[in-house]
Structure 1
């Protein structure tokens, strides 16, 4: 299950037990995008076996062309979710350095 957190104008969903996205399984990633309102696109992440590590390494082009999902949802997924998760994750990592 996921909880919502508002960061600026973006809603970010996180696993309730505060599990780090790098530890997400393929099922967790699919559940995240389903909870975020992208159930059809979540299937593409599941089909391509995108886990948390893979998600955090995805670039814009990977989401726009590599998953074979429509452009509009792909842009929203990258800008509002993947990019935000990456920024949050990598900022948290810098705190440990």
Structure 2
């Protein structure tokens, strides 16, 4: 099994962002596991965060609402949640 780097996860996220509204809780957890955050992926699953919820998450939701350590939470928000949101909403503007 290959370990994905942040850039690979970001590429995957860009491809999948078109369907972000259709992501299930399992899809979100799988994305974060593949991005190198398997422990934190459990928090997304526990809180039942699906694609729609992910699009609505703010920085404070990730930092405090998921009860995960600050370092990983910051990385998750800045490198993944924010990127997925930005990509999704830019694609929506293009339609």
TM-score, normalisation: structure 1: 0.83
Equivalent residues in 2 for 1:1-97, closer than 5 Å? 6=7, 12=10, 13-14=12-13, 20-96=19-95
Unaligned runs of 5+ in 2: none
Taking only aligned residues, the RMSD between alpha carbons, in angstroms, comes to 2.5
Does the CA contact (< 8 Å) of 1:4 and 1:14 recur in 2? no
Q: Distance in 1 between matches of 2:6 and 2:68?
A: 26
User: What is the aligned length?
Assistant: 91
Does the CA contact (< 8 Å) of 2:6 and 2:35 recur in 1? no
Unaligned runs of 5+ in 1: none
Work out which structure has the larger RCO, using CA pairs closer than 8 Å and 6 or more positions apart in sequence: 2
Larger strand proportion of the pair: 1
Larger helix proportion of the pair: 2
